[in-house]
Amino acid sequence: MIVITGATGKLGGLVLSHLISSSIQTLVSQGLSVRRGDYTDPSSLDKAFDGAETLLLISSNNHDMSAGVLEHKNAIDAAKRAGVKTVYYTSHMASSVNSKFAAAKYSHAPTEEYLAQSGLGWVSLRDGFHADSMKFLAGSPEQSGVIRTPKDGKVFWATHEDLAECIAILLSEKSPRFNGPTPPLAGGDGVTFKDVAEKLTGILGKEVRYEEISDEEYKAGLVGYGVPEMMADLLVGMFVASRDGEFGTNDGTLEKIIGRKSVSVDEYLRGAYAQ
């Protein structure tokens, strides 16, 4: 039995959809069950994970990363009690205690360490940055005609849909293809936000300029728009990490798993900014 956490969320829901439509006929013949589980309520996890052999642990969206790590630990401990054989955890391609990106350093890296010490079989899905974040970070260039960010580096983005298909394939295999961290699960083309501005110029049919600003100016603008300071620091850290090359490697593992080209940045932008 496969247990999918976060099945009501975007990524977990898409993984579930791919599993149902895949060749795993046992899912259809045995039926699906929905169980309530709360990472902050260990007793609910015991019931939710009962009978599971494989667990997809969708990472917490708690903005308090230390609290999020505790939620992950609760789930991992419950998986051990339930007799789960393999935990698949949705991590990040930059996961490292040395990362300049706070989520990678303070959330994903300690969770991977806990998994490594758990005695469970585990696979850390080193997801690329979700492409939806590209649109969020770009602001509203279709209106303003400009993208203003701190200096960045190339980022290999990945859509939720591609990642979900990849995860569903890995979950359906009889034995884990990976042991521990996977290579980066990222899209096929790396871009900077200057590249994004150039692409949007063609897509929107009007000029979109790129302007580089300081980290401090970017943070001040976010805070001025009401973004909490902790979240503003997280977003600034993303640019610091990208210009250090933390998101700029890709060996094509995602495309090898799904057996096709991943959604390109051009394709994503055309859909995201469709008129």
Give 191's strand partners.
155
How many angstroms separate the CA atoms of 30 and 4, rounded?
16
Please state the separation of Cα 127 from the chain's center in Å: 5
- Domains of the chain from N-terminus onward: 2-128+158-186+249-260 (3.40.50.720)
Direct distance between the N- and C-terminal alpha carbons of the chain, in angstroms, rounded to an integer: 43
pLDDT tens, residue by residue, 75-106? 999 999 999 999 999 999 999 999 999 999 99
For residues 164-175, give the mean pLDDT.
94
For residues 259-266, give the mean pLDDT.
96
How many residues does this entry show for the chain? Answer: 275
How many angstroms separate the CA atoms of 51 and 48, rounded?
9
Give 24's pLDDT tier (boundaries 50, 70, 90).
very low
Residue in the block written with tokens 């260039």: 141
Helix axes 160-172, 10-21, angle to 10 degrees: 50
Q: Kindly give the residue spans of alpha helices, DSSP state H, lying in the chain.
A: 10-21, 25-30, 42-49, 65-82, 102-103, 109-116, 131-138, 141-144, 160-172, 193-204, 215-224, 229-243, 253-258, 265-272
pLDDT tens, residue by residue, 150-167? 999 999 999 999 999 999
pTM of the shown model: 0.90
What are the b/e assignments for 257-270, b being 16+ CB within 10 Å? bbeeebbbbeebbe
Q: Quick check: 27 pLDDT over 70?
A: no
